[in-house]
Structure 1
Amino acid sequence: MLLSSLHHDPSEVEKRKTDIQMFYNATKGGVDTFDQMCSTSSCIRKSRRWPLTLFYGILNIIMVNSYILYTSMPFTKPVPKRTFLRDIAYELCAPQAIHRYLTSHSLSKGLRQIMVDTFKIPEQVPPRRRIPVGHRKLPKRIRCHSCPPRDDRKTNTACLLCKSPVCLVHQSVLCPNCSICPNCNAALFEAEQGV
């Protein structure tokens, strides 16, 4: 059983092969070439999770298609495929790496230095630091600002900057709202230096 939106009348052309089969055989070389291009610069890693494998496959297809579109533009001077893919990978990784550098307090010094060197993170932006819980004590237990009301989690610690109550689940150096703000990170660094 063959289904095609291009051929309307199935007719035998060569022995028992129809028009649809002959057309497919004549054009399937492009699919093989595309698969070969995907495999030469693949980002796939072994995984037991099929959504992750599917994501890697989609990422490979996107990278090859973007390079094909880039080289087909007449007004650009094409760069080697390896350089093109490296630049795209850098642009995709940079925002997450910078965010991780600023918000994570469990990174080793070596990894932090690699992030600074690779992604050109300015040295004057300090990484967020852990402050002892004793600095954020509240006089009585209050419901956590970040938890939904149905959880009814009470806490006696608060965010150092905005003074919002934060439970042990959401507790970090800052509350979730302040932790993504670069100004709050800078203010926290200044507060730590003054202590």
Structure 2
Amino acid sequence: MFFNWASSPMVTVVACEVTKLLRTIEISIRLIAPLLTENVTRIETNHTAEVEIMVRRDKTPPEGPVSLTNENTQFDTTWETVVGDDQNYPGFAYVFLLSYRNLDSLKDNTSHQSQQLMSSAATVSVSNSNTTYLPQQVNLTFHHLQGSGQLSLVMWVGVVVALTCVFLSLITTLWCRFVSRKRRGGHRLQQDVQLHRK
């Protein structure tokens, strides 16, 4: 999955370069994955990416659910989808989830448009070479980046303003009822005094 910030020609050039970079990283991991000896391998860098690779080696194709997660992304599918056509099963299957942390720093800063990634960019790859028609459902879940703390702030300000309005309208309603009762009580007292004088 690749992001395109397309709009201006300069942004399109940057997006093409980023796409080439992501494609190169994906191809590299596809070449490395079959050579891994561990069932699960995690590779993490401080500033660029986080990858989780799952590899299964057996005479028969693996079956059942498979789930990969990292800080901001989750990928859920089945080993049947990862393997694909089990007639061509080569004795191993792999799946990886690669999430990029600071991809938004590569975008064109000369553009006058305000653009922000709200979730991490991710690449998912499976050993199944034919992913046109998948036998099972694939779920890719993105979580908001911490930079979306701005959205939380706006939400909490909205909640405080709404509660303040509710509180003020409740006070106003009670005040109006109090004033209305007081007027009715004073008016009745005045009528009673006039009737008494007569």
* TM class by smaller structure: under 0.3
Q: Which has the larger radius of gyration?
A: 2
Give the helix-richer structure, 1 or 2. Answer: 1
Give the strand-richer structure, 1 or 2. Answer: 2
TM-score (ref. length: structure 1) = 0.22
Q: Which has the higher contact order (CA 8 A, sep 6+)?
A: 2
